[in-house]
A and B are shown apart, each in its own frame.
Chain A
Amino acid sequence: MWKVFDMADKKTIKRKTDFKKGLDIFLFLLPAILLFVGILIAPIAVSLYRSLQKWNGFSPGTFIGFKNYKDLFTSGSINWMTSLKNALIIAFFSVFVQLPFSLLLALLLGRKYKGERFFLTVYFMPVLISTVVIGQLWLKIYNPDYGILNRALAALGLADWQHVWVGDPKTALGSVVVPTIWQYVGYHMLLMYAGVKGVSPDLREAAMLDGATNWQVDRYVVIPVIKPIIRTSVIFAVTGSLKTYDLVRIITNAGPTHKTEVPSTLLEDMLFLRNRYGMGSTISVMLIILCFAFALAITAAFKEKEY
């Protein structure tokens, strides 16, 4: 796009004065900058500053250096390590279960089966539904007495497998992971499907003339070509997992006994239950660092694998 820009430069018509132009640029950017700096950039700067303080949100804070960061990783009562572990487990399942399945669906739908559009449309539907609704719905499915899951198990003669899914420490995290993965398969599938459909027909043709089967075309032509999309999906899946909040709040409410705590629920607790605004800021900063670190690491990992 910058090439087009250069051409336009040459044709640019002389403007009255540089000052007038500068003022116009400033005014055009003003609403966006006010919103962006006011709600995103300035608060992050404040968070960075407050993360170094012991602060209850109202009185002036006292500067304590990196003690919050140290406590975050060493104090068990804060539950940060549990929350981080849970977020990483969700990320793991997203990357290694959800994405491969999404890719499989995208490749299969790229095979021009009858009803392709129908399947695509149906698979994308859960993405449009609010996570709060999804959470409520799955709560009904998990309900120990009346939920479909336990009833289905009973009907299949597997009554031994019945659980208080959401309340049992062993299954609580799983009961959050399953809906999370289920909901966004359609999203990743759609992105990958767009990539599959965008692969140049000449490339496919060439591979097939060399005798490749459909699977080999997918493996050696399509997947390498859509690698940038897969990378985007991996980044979205990982950063999305780190940010998980809605489903945990609705389904398990971070329980039982903080077993399913994730960074965002912890952050909320610091503000409303424990009045530890300094520590809350520290968690915010850690989340930003983690999101950027993972995004960079994933980008780097994909670069190395290119040949």
Chain B
Amino acid sequence: MQLEERYTLKKSNPAVKVLVYILLVIWAFINIFPIYFMFTFSLKSNEEIFGENVVGLPREWLFSNYVSAMNTGNMGLYFVNSVLVTTVSIFISLAAAMMATYAITRIKWKGANFTNSFFMLGLTIPLQASIVPVYVILSKLHWLNHYSTLIIPYSAFTLSMSILICTGFMVDIPYDLDEAARIDGCGLWGTFGRIIVPLLKPAYATIGIYAFLQCWNEFMFANVFISDSAHRTLPVGIKALSGAYTTDWGPIGAALVIATFPTLIVYIFLCRKIQDSFIAGAVKG
């Protein structure tokens, strides 16, 4: 993704410039404020939140809210569940996408184009389309409330985008490499495993980031398919916790911070890479 600044602009009117800055700063404030608000109220007591100190820094830093969120709210367990479900889904989606993309873009056969279009249908189909039959089948098989109940649908829903991104990266790999590998006696699988998979490393990050956000934040399937607390992911856990603590805001704030800040901290360090993943996902489509 090329975002370098190579063009020139005319000098603009200083008054316009000031107005633009005011707009940019106000919008930045509107974006940062909720995050700041969440962080500060996660450390406050109800007296502070409901009293005079609504938006200031906490006078007394109440880390006990985090203890409540972890113990009573089970946020630790939900965090681990989310990590597990997300990681395995990304891995399956990535592996399936790399194999499929290899077959579609680097092996010559008649149906390649059609197969690609078929997978691209998934970009428009809403998740909701499959929820009724999948729910009925899973409940008949007594397969609700497992990690795999979420992992398999999540892998399927991120598959189309993974294939799209993979295709973008795979066509950039020179075909001479395949040829050289074949001459050296590699079959299709050998070429795939030894040449393509290692050279696709940059795609892992892009797909991983995209799939991570899809799975980490997914709420509808998690809410419908998981009813026992042992397998809840963070979004469902937060919903349950907020039902339990309707009047005590601190622990809810702590849960929101636990679910959000790890992502935001990673984003601060990798913002360019993460932004590029989103651009790659949307613009190449």
The answer to whether A50 and B126 have CB atoms under 8 Å apart is no
Across the interface, A137 reaches (CB within 8 A) one of B2, B37, B236, namely B37
The answer to whether B130 and A29 have CB atoms under 8 Å apart is no
The answer to whether B133 and A121 have CB atoms under 8 Å apart is no
Q: How large is the interface on A (under 10, 10 to 19, 20 to 34, 35 or more residues)?
A: 35 or more
- The majority secondary structure among interface residues of chain B is helix
Contacts A195-B283, A288-B125 given; does A32 touch B24 at CB 8 Å = no
The answer to whether B238 and A136 have CB atoms under 8 Å apart is yes
A214 CA / B97 CA spacing, docked (Å): 43
For A120, what are the chain B residues with a Cβ–Cβ distance below 8 Å? Answer: 275
Report the count of interface residues on B (CB-CB < 8 A): 111
Any A CB within 8 A of the CB of B1: yes
The answer to whether A57 and B239 have CB atoms under 8 Å apart is no
Name which of B56-64, B65-73, B178-186, B197-205 contacts chain A.
B178-186
Which chain A residues have a beta carbon within 8 Å of chain B's beta carbons?
Answer: 1, 4-5, 7-9, 11-13, 21-22, 24-25, 28-33, 35-36, 38-44, 46-47, 50, 57, 105, 108-109, 111-113, 115, 118-134, 136-141, 145-146, 148, 151, 182, 186-187, 190-191, 194-195, 197-199, 201, 204-205, 208, 213-214, 229, 232, 236, 239, 242-243, 245-246, 249-250, 263-264, 267-268, 271-272, 277, 280-281, 283-285, 287-288, 291-292, 295
Which chain B residues have a beta carbon within 8 Å of chain A's beta carbons?
Answer: 1-10, 12, 17, 20-21, 23-24, 27-28, 30-32, 34-35, 37-38, 41, 49-50, 54-55, 92, 95-97, 99-100, 102-109, 115, 118-119, 121-122, 124-136, 152-153, 155-157, 159-160, 163, 167, 171, 175, 178-179, 182-183, 187-189, 192, 213, 216-217, 219-220, 223-224, 234-236, 238-239, 242, 249, 252, 256, 259-260, 263-264, 267-268, 271, 274-275, 278-279, 282-283, 285
A-B contact pairs, 17 of them (CB 8 A): A5-B171, A25-B109, A32-B96, A36-B159, A40-B156, A129-B263, A136-B242, A138-B34, A141-B37, A194-B1, A194-B283, A197-B2, A214-B9, A239-B126, A267-B132, A271-B224, A277-B132
